[in-house]
Structure 1
Amino acid sequence: MLTAFCISSKRGEILFASLFEPSLTKAIFHPFLTELSSSPHGDPPPAFAKDGQNYVYVFRDDLYWVCAVGKGSFLEQCGHLLITESLSQLHRVCSVLCGALTQHSIMANTTLITEVVQETMNGGILQLQTADKLQSHIYSSVVAAKESSAVSAAPGLFGLEKSAPSTAAQQSALAVDTGKRELYVDVVEKVWASVASGGTVIRAEVTGSILARCFLPGNPNLTLTLNTQLLTTSQEGFNTGTRMSEVEFGSGVDVGSGDGGRQLSVMTLPGQEMNIVRYTLSPDHPHLLPFTITASSHSLTPSDSELRLKLTSNTGMGTVAPQVTFRTVAPATTAAVMSRTSGPRDQAVHFSPDNKAITWTISQFPGGSYAQAFIRLVDSGGNAVVESGELEFEVSRWVCSGVRVESVKLTPSVNNLNKWVRYLTTSDSVSLRLT
């Protein structure tokens, strides 16, 4: 039987854990995380033993879904394939219930995932389930980690997005009326980045997925045509296309050769999310982050200083960020802050005296514009400076890689079909140096 289960981020942070023996703690996964960080050839094998513990895992949506297997158990004797399939099935169930899986959505839906794990891993004993069978046993509702309503009011590629939910993560697939004949194609990217004070990108990782959800009778064949080839090999001559370091096509996806490898075809499954392709931008690809922030500090009085922040959107006209949040920590002696802002109307600066945290929030941030905040740090010292901060964002109708879906075709064709193609970029960890 299984002794423990966890979901870990790509950085080795445990986002969710379920222990099936009372004597265990999260420390049972420390050997796994150690092996993850020290493996010289990428990820370790899908099943391995370390420090007396047996581990089986799968890597989905930039998250590690890990099980610890008890010694001498029946599962250990049977091998890891059954556990691997069960973890993949658990991931599919969570994807259907929660939508796009990120670190934020996992932590926001801990209660719901706990119920799913209790049903699929009953006390460490695997139970094979599907989302439709589990739905009647789940009492928690999905918590949207980042609310967005911008896309629902704007026309999109097909001119029909005005009635669509803003992101796939905010609506359960089981809640969509299948009688509406709907097709959703989402290009979703996540960003990890470290940026120097001058705006230079020190390190950036962008991973993306093209997902499809089809609510149609039968199993029509879906064909997508992209604006660029998803290749990991460099081409001769001048090439302006997107460069990838990893490309992984979903099960059953056929990559056409007639259009330079830009056509992807797959048979649809009614009511289920299909991962058509997952990719990672090449490290040498020129990363364009959606926002640039500049900061400066000025002395106002011997006891007070002013922090000036300017946030510029690089996403261009026609895009919008439903919410952008910048977080930093004021000097330890800061007693209060006073602030004024310019730019978009919906801005707020909040100060927490307990942990000295400053939070600057901007709602409905249009692409191509900028916002400014002037924050007076009371009793911080006239020469006080703020060194770094974290930026969180969600940008609609824009992705860092520039990947676009040029056409969507169903074979055989379906009448009265509502099609939505949506683009979404979210931050997972973006740290900024201010000085």
Structure 2
Amino acid sequence: MLRAFCIANKRGEILFITIFEPLVTKAIFDPFLSELSSSPHGDPPPFFTKEDHKYVYVFRDDLYWACVVSQNSLTDECGPLLMTESLSQLHQVCSTLCGALTQHSITANATLIMEIVQETMNGGFVQMQTADKLQSCIYSTVVAPKETSALTSVPGLFGIEKSAPCTAAQQSSLAVDSSKRELYVDVVEKVWASVSSSGTVIRAEVNGSIVTRCFLPGNPVLSLMLNTQLSTTPKEGFNTGTRMSEVEFGNGVEIGSGNNGRQLSVMTVPGQEITIARYTLAPDHPHLLPFTLTSSIHSLTPSDSELRLKLTSNTGMGTVSPQVTFKTVAPVSTAAVMSQTSGPRDQVIRFSPEDKTLTWTISQFPGGSYAQAFIRLVDSGGDVSIEAGELEFEVSRWVCSGVRIERVKLNPPVDNLNKWVRYLTTSDSVSIRLS
């Protein structure tokens, strides 16, 4: 039997929690989170005991899926392998029903995940379930945050087009059309960062994955040539390549002995998405964020002040951001705002009087350009300050790591093949201080 279950991020924040025993509280996971932050050699083992609590967890999509097992219960007697497999299965079900999993999508779909957990961990007793069997028991609908929309298989004008995550009920067995021969290779990265008011990156973490999906008859072998080696081994001398702290290759992926290990090969399966590699940039790698935000605030009158924002794109020509949003909280006394913008045409500034949230949204933001916003805060006071804000973005045709696909080859060759190599960077959590 299980005592509790939670989903936590790398910063030790619990995004979702379920308690199965009446006397248990959220504090039962404090030893678990403490062990994660204090472990000297990375993450602790997937099963460990601390302060008389038995913890089992798996690490998926940059999130910890953890549970507390009751002492001397049947689940405890079966061993940790049962729970690691059950947690992996729970993650797969949530990924199928919710789409791409980030801390934003977990929070937005808390009700849906609660239903899934209730079905798969009924009262703390593990139930072996799959997405197709659970679909008839799920009543909640998917909430799709813009930055975590699932990727579709349709090439768009700006690289990867997005749609709301599909549900198990909408999925069906794929019949490969022999007249439609398409291959997709996607490099997708998520960014977490904390930036000072001067623009200096205090801390950043970039997690990426290389994913392929083909619509081809048979099982041709896909070979990719990268511009850099995916390796955690430090190189001697001056090195301008990408430095990784974690690299995990998918099942069946072979690393070529030549070309300095830059060639990766895997057998394709018609219609099935295959993860070729997952990686995390090294902390000492120079993180180039796609945007730089500068701000200033000064007094206009004894009652009003003006906030000036300038957002500069660092992604270069040929790239585009379908949507960029900056959110912050205005001073409590602010009654209304008046705004003026310059730069890209599609800019909107919204103010919510209820929670004083100020939102600046830019659509179709071309790379290498900048946008400015001049916002008058009415009745905010002449001498005020705004501490920080959150930047949310999606950037097509660009990734922070600089990983590129130089060559795509199939063996045996396929005639009349349409190959799509796409790049996408999304924000997971980018906090920027303004003062």
- TM superposition score normalised by structure 1: 0.88
Contact kept? 2:185, 2:421, Cα under 8 Å? yes
Please give the residue correspondences for 1:33-52 in structure 2 after superposition, counting only pairs within 5 Å.
33-52=33-52
> Is the counterpart of residue 342 in structure 1 residue 326 in structure 2?
no
Partner residue of 1:266?
266
Partner residue of 1:286?
286
Partner residue of 2:195?
195
- How large is the Cα RMSD of the aligned pairs? 2.9
Return the offset for 1:175. 5.8
Partner residue of 2:86?
86
2:161 to 157, 166, 180: 166
Mapped to 2, the partners of 1:344 and 1:422 lie a distance apart of: 24
Return the offset for 1:194. 1.7
Mapped to 2, the partners of 1:153 and 1:175 lie a distance apart of: 15
Question: What residue identity is the alignment partner of 1:351?
Answer: F
Please give the residue correspondences for 1:10-409 in structure 2 after superposition, counting only pairs within 5 Å.
10-135=10-135, 138-146=138-146, 161=156, 166-167=161-162, 170-171=165-166, 174=171, 177-180=174-177, 182-409=182-409
Question: What residue identity is the alignment partner of 1:51?
Answer: E
Mapped to 1, the partners of 2:70 and 2:107 lie a distance apart of: 27
Secondary structure of the corresponding residue to residue 17 of structure 1: strand
CA gap 1:183/1:176 in 2 versus in 1, 3 angstroms: farther
- TM superposition score normalised by structure 2: 0.88
Contact kept? 2:158, 2:320, Cα under 8 Å? no
Mapped to 1, the partners of 2:285 and 2:61 lie a distance apart of: 21
CA gap 1:168/1:67 in 2 versus in 1, 3 angstroms: farther
Mapped to 2, the partners of 1:221 and 1:261 lie a distance apart of: 17
Return the offset for 1:66. 0.8
CA gap 1:112/1:213 in 2 versus in 1, 3 angstroms: farther
Return the offset for 1:347. 1.6
Render the CA deviation track for 1:84-121: whole Å, top value 9, x for unaligned: 12222222333334333211222233343334333433
Render the CA deviation track for 1:26-49: whole Å, top value 9, x for unaligned: 333232222222333322221112
In structure 2, stretches of 5+ residues that fail to align are none
Contact kept? 1:224, 1:265, Cα under 8 Å? yes
Contact kept? 1:148, 1:167, Cα under 8 Å? no
In structure 1, stretches of 5+ residues that fail to align are 155-159
Secondary structure of the corresponding residue to residue 93 of structure 1: helix
Partner residue of 1:4?
4
Segments of 4+ in structure 1 off by > 6 A?
151-154
Contact kept? 1:152, 1:164, Cα under 8 Å? no
Return the offset for 1:253. 1.7
Mapped to 2, the partners of 1:131 and 1:318 lie a distance apart of: 40
Percentage of matched positions with identical amino acids: 74
